[in-house]
Structure 1
Amino acid sequence: MRSPESMDADFDTVLHGGEVFVGQGLARCDIGIRAGRIAALAERIAGGRTRFDAAGRWVLPGGVDAHCHIDQPPNPGSAARGAQMADDFASGSRSAAFGGTTTILPFAPQFKGQSLRAAVAAYHARAEGRSHVDYGFHLIVSDPTQEVLAQELPALAAEGYTSVKIYLTYEALRLSDLQVLEVLDAARQCGTLTMVHAENLDCILWLTERLERQGRTAPRYHADSRPMLVEREATFRAVALAELAEAPLLIVHVSGREAIEVIAGARARGLPIVAETCPQYLFLGSEDLHAEDGAKCMCSPPPRARENAPFVWRGLQSGALSLVSSDHAPYRFDESGKLKYGPKASFRFIANGIPGLETRLPLLFSEGVMAGRLTLAEFVELCCTAPARLYGLLPRKGQIAVGADADLALWDPQRRTVIDNALLHHNVDYTPYAGMAVTGWPTHVWLRGELVCADGELRGRPGQGRFLRRGRHGIPLRAAP
């Protein structure tokens, strides 16, 4: 635990008296911070220009939310075109910080006919000088031209954009199997990780049109248009295409038992397949779509029936699911967002997505760690270390270690909170988790040694967060079963 530096050395900040997550568990440990990085870990550290008493609380790594949508421009070809996201980088990153997250990875979307380089430049303009936490970009490829794959993708990978998302659903974004293979192959060659949204578009369209002919257009029927079979088939196909291309693959927002079984089978065969899930598949159910305001819980894939949640927990416990992200998609419940086409619009015209940046860690901490479903080490791995490793941010992010950025979250493990939207810091007018009681909440958060928020008070400033150039992904070409 003792760093190679002298404990008599001065530090910008010393956190003392807390229980710190180091290695695989908590230890009574002081943290010495210098120039934004952890410079020393020891049982007792003297000095420090600023000293902070962490007694009685847990010090965990700042969270890494590897899948969130912030100020993403609406796709002109989408069914819900015109719906605007409520969070820009200032409000979205502020919400992340108050929830214990210090690194976010949102998406720079390429639309049909657009240069990938131009998409990245446009997204930088939205982010510059606004973020309270550090951030990187995933690329979204919807038009994989030869120029994009042979020139732009390798050049952007060399500049630290080392992940690309593709879709098997949404008419404006869906790639053919041939295009998927071409992206997988190009990404593999330049060390870029391919992420996939795995739902079968043609099945969804067939089911949607049949439901609409029957007059079944309320939000509850969104789940009927996207049953688990639709996700299972697309997951199986994505795994097969990745195997053919000999490329690593990360399957995002896995919702249900059937897809998890496909993923577990692929990993058991040693394929480099990794998968993520999200809180909505642990804490929401398809039953929530039946409410009068059921559109508030609409996302894709949809929340499954309540009896599905234990399978997702088991996927996290077994390693079939490797990380938990929020998939934060902040649409307000008004005419700017969810109700763009009116309160009676068919579910196909309601913007997909729910807010969750600030609640991701407290929900999983409470019902995972405090309820005994996850160890603290598993929680940190799923929410901090694994996303940092998978997306090329280790050893700088996702852990408490000498040399790492001093991204720290101080948790009160016994704090009891009933989630209410008035307590949150996003720019969305609701949370789907309202009324849920959680045990444990982050009270103070540091980004590179600077205090961002403390006891509900914002201490940081827009622009404090920096853009992160990321390294190669952390998935071996043959994954261990």
Structure 2
Amino acid sequence: MEFDLIITNGVLVTASGTVDPPNSDIAVKDGKIALIGSGLVGFASERTTIVDAEGAHVTPGGVDTHVHISQGAGGITMDGFDTGTRSAICGGTTTVVCFAAQERWNESVLEVVDEYHAKCASQGGSYSDYGFHLILTNPSPSVLDEQLPILRHEGGISSVKLYMSYDNRQLTDAQIMSVLQRTRALGMTTMIHAENWDMIKFIIKQLEERKLTDPYFHAVSRPPLVENEAAYRAIAIAELMDTPILLVHISTRSSRDHVRAAQTRMLPIHAETCPQYLYLLSDVLKKPDFEGAKYVCSPPVRDDKDDIDALWEGIANGTFTTLSSDHCPSCWDHPQGKKLGLDQDTKIAKFSAIPNGLPGVETRFPLGYQGVSDGKITVEKFVEVASTNPAKLYGLESKGVLAPGYDADIVIWYPKGSSKHSISNSSLHHKIDYTPYEGFALDNWPRYTFLRGKLVWAKDKGGLLGEQGYGKFIKRSGNQLRQPRDKWVNEWRPVV
């Protein structure tokens, strides 16, 4: 066999272990990993590209399954498929799953998904491979009974996202149960944004009456109890329906503990957390000159370092299934971006008007790897939550693993101790005019990134080498991780 690419002298990392040289050569043919073994360089031909990893870690490409592109807060100030997926590639993420959002008035989710495909095409396509989740805000009988099966079996969409908060997205508990009943039958994964919206609105009203409206009070309006109650309630609903769910962007110890307790009882409960909750505390919201608005996201970054420690522990002990970015950015210095929350005449801030969300698709993978350098998690656990588990949970069958037959989505890091990196917005590749991690010192960054065997990023040799449009839409199968506990049927639970 004539190989297109051979990577040699690297330490291969999988979720289950590492493979050291000389048994760790990777041979790639036609975009797929063909062989892993020793001495494969000896089978190189004149057309084979050979890359020496110089003893560094070699991991699967990152899989980020919580990315908002051309959707959500900030409108025109937000990343599109062009800048968002470019940013992903430059941070070692080779596959993103973003959102096609149904609005209240949308009767056809099939049309919604078609619109998002058209958005990607009109913007020139994607740098990374990509898929879609469906955000459901109007789960009518037609949507649940007629349209979801088409998306699942023909459209390659195997996940939906539901909100327990926001007036324009919130579903009632009864609506959530109806959705879970359908997604259980279809083998789809349901993501849930768990915050108690009535609590939040009540607190916001109290704060605004007292003129406590600076960005920091965004965090005050969403205390940990708001998330903890909704997370517990979502788990209870999922238990009633015996349906897999993933609780997105968990930010507190108590919510983590709810998830852990449910998993201990063998319930099909998954959870994700994000780098902002692993590295930031709410004092950043107090930055002067309205710069605290740069850090407004929901749930908010927390006050207590104990929550940060608990989240790292949750990754280490397997409570968290995925590490995602929740990339949902708006530009800061723009009247339609974060400064929507600042009256331009009076300069009075109103935190409730600040678009939610942070940029992070490019920094997620390196910040996760920094947890390895800091001794908080193993490199195997990093690969598990940042690549392998996201691919398995969301049915990306060819992604997230270094093994023959899988896509050759591969990241080569720098050898340990050979370089230092500082995060600066000037060196990032998104559209956004800031990063919440400005000045963060990292021990590593992806040195080379391959997408389906093609070199798309070489940090020291030209940077971004990938071409827009090379990324392709990936049709996904069902959840390959924790499944419903019971297979039986009664009057209201459908057959799995």
Q: TM-score, normalised by structure 1?
A: 0.94
Q: Pick from 94, 97, 102 the counterpart of residue 94 of structure 2.
A: 102
C-alpha distance in structure 2 between counterparts of 1:83 and 1:215, whole Å:
27
Corresponding position: 1:155 with 2:155? no
Identity of aligned residues (%): 44
Aligned to 1:242: 238
**Which amino acid in the other structure matches residue 477 of structure 2?**
G
Q: Equivalent residue for 2:173?
A: 177
Amino acid at match of 2:399: K
Q: CA deviation at 1:85?
A: 4.2
Q: Does 1:435 align with 2:443?
A: no
Deviation at 1:86, TM superposition (A): 2.4
Decide whether the 8 Å contact of 1:270 with 1:478 is kept in 2.
no
Determine if the alignment matches structure 1 residue 34 to structure 2 residue 34. no
| Displacement after TM superposition at 1:124 (Å) | 0.6
Q: In the alignment, is the contact (CA less than 8 A) between 2:194 and 2:230 conserved in 1?
A: yes
Unpaired runs of 5+ in structure 2? Answer: 487-496
**Structure 1 stretch displaced more, 335-344 or 300-309:** 335-344
Closer/same/farther in 2, CA of residues 341 and 221 from structure 1, 3 Å limit? closer
Alpha-carbon distance in 2 for matches of 1:103, 1:349: 32
1:7-26 Cα offsets, whole Å, 9 max, x none, are: xx211111222222255114
Superposed CA RMSD in Å reads 1.5
Please give the per-residue CA displacement for 1:171-198, whole angstroms capped at 9, x wherever unaligned: 1000001100001111111111110000
Q: 1:127 aligns to what?
A: 120
Describe the superposition over 1:110-166 as per-residue Cα deviations: whole angstroms up to 9, x where unpaired.
Answer: 001212111101111111242111000000000001100001111101121000000
Counterpart of 1:71 in structure 2 is 70
The answer to whether the Cα contact below 8 Å between 1:142 and 1:166 also exists between their aligned partners in 2 is: yes
Counterpart in the other structure of 1:340: 340
Q: Distance in 1 between matches of 2:482 and 2:428?
A: 38
Matched residues in 1 for 2:388 and 2:9: separation? Answer: 24
**Residue equivalent to 2:294:** 296
In 2, Cα distance between the equivalents of 1:478 and 1:153? 19
Query: In the aligned structure 1, how far is the partner of 2:425 from the partner of 2:130?
Result: 24
CA distance in 1, matches of 2:420, 2:471: 29
Say how many residue pairs are matched. 463
1: CA distance between counterparts of 2:304 and 2:90? 29
Contact 1:71/1:87 (8 A) holds in 2: yes
Which residue of 1 is the match for residue 223 of structure 2?
227
Task: Find the counterpart in structure 1 of residue 410 from structure 2.
Answer: 408
**1:353 aligns to 2:348 (yes or no):** no
Q: Which moved more, 1:171-180 or 1:27-36?
A: 27-36
Taking the aligned partners of 1:313 and 1:20, their CA distance within structure 2 comes to: 23
TM superposition shift of 1:341 = 4.7
Query: Deviation string for 1:16-49 (max 9, x for gaps)?
Result: 2222225511421211111100011111112142
Q: What is the CA-CA distance between 1:258 and the residue it aligns to? A: 1.3
In 2, distance between residues paired with 1:457 and 1:195?
Answer: 34
Between 1:305-314 and 1:346-355, the stretch displaced more is 305-314
- Structure 1: which 5+ residue stretches go unaligned? 1-8, 75-79
What is the rounded CA distance, in whole Å, between the counterparts of 2:215 and 2:242 in structure 1? Answer: 39
CA distance in structure 2 between the partners assigned to 1:476 and 1:96 by the alignment = 28
Distance 2:82 2:485 in 1: 38
Aligned position for 2:490: none
1:241-265: CA deviations, max 9, x gaps?
A: 1111121111000000111111111
Q: 2:341·2:351 contact (CA, 8 Å) conserved in 1?
A: no
Within 1, Cα distance between the matches of 2:247 and 2:443?
30
Question: Following superposition of structure 1 onto structure 2, how do residues 419-430 of structure 1 map, counting pairs within 5 Å?
Answer: 419-430=423-434
Alignment partner of 1:24 is 2:28: no
The CA distance in 1 between the partners of 2:341 and 2:235, in whole Å, is 36
Q: Which whole-Å deviations, capped at 9, do the CAs of 1:259-290 have from their partners, x for residues lacking one?
A: 11111111111110000000010101111111
What residue number does 1:458 align with? 464
Q: Deviations over 1:324-364 (max 9, x none)?
A: 00000121002131113535341111000000011111112
Distance in 1 separating the partners of 2:317 and 2:422: 30
Task: Specify the code of the residue in structure 1 equivalent to 2:425.
Answer: N
Q: Hey, what's the Cα distance between the residues in 1 that align with 2:55 and 2:316?
A: 28
Q: CA separation in 2, counterparts of 1:390 and 1:269?
A: 19
Task: Choose from 381, 384, 391 the match for 2:384.
Answer: 381
1:410-434 Cα distance to aligned partner (Å, 9 max, x none): 1014321111101111111000000
How far apart, CA to CA, are the structure 1 residues paired with 2:75 and 2:65? 23
Q: Distance in 1 between matches of 2:316 and 2:245?
A: 20
Q: Is the 8 A contact 1:284 1:306 kept in 2?
A: no
